[in-house]
Amino acid sequence: MTNLLEGNSCVFGLQWGDEGKGKIVDFLGEQADVVVRYCGGANAGHTVRIGNEKYATHLLPVGIFRPGVLNVIGNGVVLDPEVLFKEIDEFLSRGIAISPVNLKISYKTHLVMPWHKQEDAAREMASEGNSIGTTRRGIGPAYADKMQRSTALRVADLMHEEKLKQRIGQIVTERNKVLDCLYEVPPMDWKAIFEQYRDHGRRMAPFVDDTTQTLLAAMREQKRILFEGAHAVLLDVDHGTYPYVTSSNCSALGLFTGAGVPPQACQNYIGIMKSYSTRVGGGPFPTEQNNDTGNYIRERGNEYGTTTRRPRRCGWFDAVAVKYSVDLCGVTQIAMTLLDVLSGLEHLRICTGYKHRGQRLEAFRADMDVLAEVEPVYETMPGFNGNISGCRRFEELPKEAQLYVKRIEQLCGVPVKMVSVGPERSATLMR
């Protein structure tokens, strides 16, 4: 296989998530010694197919499927131990080896607690019509507590049981008052929560690590590190379509704080994008096709959430939005996924600009009020037909499909080095 990983790489989504990062990280994982998750939590969902087996990961780095790869959960993640151990148990029962030898968890990683999930769900229900459309996995409240500090718990806290007991007692007393007052949620039992997290801590202890030191050692030994982004640039809490974003810095810009490594740690920035656009939850989506085209893409692309099974909103490829992500994160190469999904459409459209109140906008604006009003300007190209999933070289693709990829590459200004035409590892064309 072409050597894509000269130095260390970060793989991350360029749109609103669900770009098929799992498959590409798994594919590149063949050349990596270490795979690191640096942001998000169990709101993420990466799907990997190996042979006839299909695996959905929410917290474990995708390198877990490759023997010999070290997997790291970085401090930028918010960790729900219940989900983690469920995932570990499922994969163990399916023959995947997981132990402290191939999985390390940063002691600085913050925990998702039961009250975070309660608050997430209660807030979403209470703000009917004005909700973010979260995954209800407690992500926003967990990150809010991280910044709040006095009400947060980290993996390190699980290692000190007496202190953990006191802290959980104090926090639950306070949370019960707030949740009752604002959302009439029944009170939580602090003792049951303490016992549950004490047990999680005991099971987690062998995996807990100073992951910065582990990663610095890997860098000194010139091991290849792959930083696995979750979510995507347009969902980044600072740079995405705020407030319809997730609560972490899930663009490539978050990797240094989230993995706990110096800026020299990464040389390649591999952006993943679909050949069209999707998003789940609320928020403006200029190229959305709430029509037969959108339905066609959703059904062919199985565009239903890995984590929540919600139907995803589907639309044409938005080059304005992707160019913003590419420039913001210094993308050095692109992987395009799901090209096969577009087969059978008579015409393909690419959004090459926006019009806002009669004026052409030169660049994407991560401002909800502007985005809600923009009108996409499209370029139309001929579509292609037939099953392209068997193609193994770019030149084997129908000419129209090649032209479509090349036009997008031109608009993004960065080479599209990989094109994925099917779910299997092997259905990936290198250019």
Footprint on this chain of ligand IMP (rule: CB under 6 A): 16-18, 43-45, 132-135, 137, 139-140, 230-231, 235, 244, 246-247, 280-281
* 310 secondary structure, DSSP code: P
The label of the residue with tokens 């995932």 reads 87
Half-sphere exposure of 292 (CA within 13 A, CB side): 3
The helix or strand, by DSSP H or E, that contains position 429, with its residue range, turns out to be strand 428-430
3 state SS of 119: helix
Least distance in Å: CB of 420 to ligand IMP? Answer: 17
Q: Among all chains, which residue has been given the structure tokens 């499927």?
A: 65
Distances (CA, A) of 31 to 35, 98, 270, 372, 421: 10, 19, 14, 42, 21
Question: What is the smallest separation between the CB atom of 140 and ligand IMP, expressed in angstroms?
Answer: 5
Cα separation, 152 vs 159, whole angstroms: 15
Asked about 58 being catalytic, the answer comes back as no
β-strands 34-37, 225-232 pairing: parallel
CB-wise, 207 or 364, nearer to ligand IMP?
364
Crossing angle for the helix pair 161-183 and 190-204, nearest 10 degrees?
130
How far is it, in rounded angstroms, from Cα 365 to Cα 5? 32
φ, ψ of residue 298 to 5 degrees: the values are -60, -45
Q: In the bound complex, which residue of the shown chain has the CB atom lying closest to ligand IMP? A: 281
CB of 381 to ligand IMP, least distance (A): 27
Give the SS3 label for residue 33.
coil
C-beta of 312: minimal distance to ligand IMP in Å? 8
Crossing angle of helices 399-412 and 319-329, in 10° steps, is 50
Question: Which CB, 62 or 158, lies closer to ligand IMP?
Answer: 62
Task: Give Cβ neighbours of residue 327 (< 8 Å, ≥ 6 apart).
Answer: none
Phi and psi at residue 123, to the nearest 5° = -65, -40
Q: At CA 230, angle to CA 229 and CA 234, rounded to 5?
A: 95
Residues 98 and 370: their CA atoms lie apart, in Å, by 47
Q: What share of the chain is helix, strand, coil (3-state, %, to 5)?
A: 40, 20, 40
Closest CA relative to residue 118, chosen from 198, 197, 180: 180
Q: Which lies closer to ligand IMP via its Cβ, residue 247 or residue 289?
A: 247
Instruction: Return the number of the residue (179 or 401) whose C-beta is nearest ligand IMP.
Output: 179
CA distance 100 to 363: 46
The Cα–Cα gap between 85 and 83 comes to 6
Shortest distance in whole angstroms from residue 131 CB to ligand IMP: 9
Which CB, 131 or 402, lies closer to ligand IMP? 131
Nearest distance in Å: CB 49, ligand IMP: 18
* Residue among 230 and 255 whose Cβ is closer to ligand IMP: 230
**Residue 18 designated active-site:** yes
Rounded Cα–Cα distance for residues 211 and 283 (Å): 36
Nearer to ligand IMP, 140 or 301 (CB): 140
In the complex with ligand IMP, the residue whose CB is nearer, 76 or 281, is 281
Min dist. Cβ of residue 314 to ligand IMP (A): 13
CB of 297 to ligand IMP, least distance (A): 16
Complex with ligand IMP: residue 106 or 247, whichever CB lies closer: 247
Catalytic-labelled residue, pool 46, 58, 110, 239: 46
Radius of gyration for the chain, computed over Cα atoms and rounded to the nearest angstrom: 22
Token pair belonging to 99: 């132990």
As annotated, the active-site residues are: 18, 46
